[in-house]
Structure formats: C-alpha cells, structure tokens
Amino acid sequence: MKIENEPDTSLRRRRQALCRQLPPLKAVLRGSLIERYKRCGKPGCKCAEGPGHGPKYYLSVSRSGLRPQMDYVPQESHTQVAEFIANYHRAREILEAISEINRELLRRREAL
C-alpha cells in the first residue's frame, strides 16, 4: 500500500512497531569491513605464492571530502564489528521509515 493511502491509525501502529525493531543504539558502527592478505616478504615463506597471510580485517570509514580511514579489527572482534555495522544499516532504514511516516502525518495536518 502506498503511504498516502495508509490510514492514520495504521501509520501510527507501524511507527510503533518500527521503534520496537530498532537495534540498541549503542551497538552501531558506521563503515565497512575490509579483508586484506599480506605477503610478509620473508625469503622462502609459502605466502609468496598464495594470496598472502590473512585474512586480516579493517574497518574502513569514509567521510565526505576525506580519505577513508582504516582501523585494524582484531580477529576476536570481527563478528561483533560485523554485527554493529549491520545494526547501523538497520537503524538507518528504520529511522528513514519513521521519518517518512512523520512526514506523511505532517502533510495531513495530523498530530505527530
């Protein structure tokens, strides 16, 4: 259903449901996980023929006008970092959806 055709009560109910689906906001991280393999350069190391040692993980965070920043992610934090990144995307989607509902209510001159 298009949002314009959705009754007020339904919009409000959906907004409430969206709020409940928000991930814990302290558990968000913006950026992306990057995998790197490195050749150590030691003579005779088998990594010279393969992709290199790894994977090692980095968090890459881009900011407008600046080069992306890379932070090393220890192996034991990898899963949690991936989860926090997913939370960030989920939170953004939900905030966007709530914002759309509020914009529609505003357009109808309904109480927010």
Interface pick for Zn ion out of 17, 19, 27, 40 (rule CB under 5 A): 40
The least CB distance from residue 42 to Zn ion, in Å, is: 5
Binding region for Zn ion (CB under 5 A) out of 4-12, 35-43, 71-79, 97-105? 35-43
Closest-CA residue to 23 (of 99, 82, 98, 89)? 89
Q: Is 47 in the site for Zn ion (CB under 5 A)?
A: yes
Which residues, at least 6 apart from 72, have a Cβ–Cβ distance to it below 8 Å?
Answer: 56, 57, 58
Q: Is 50 in the site for Zn ion (CB under 5 A)?
A: no
The least CB distance from residue 57 to Zn ion, in Å, is: 18
Q: Footprint of Zn ion on this chain (CB under 5 A)?
A: 40, 45, 47
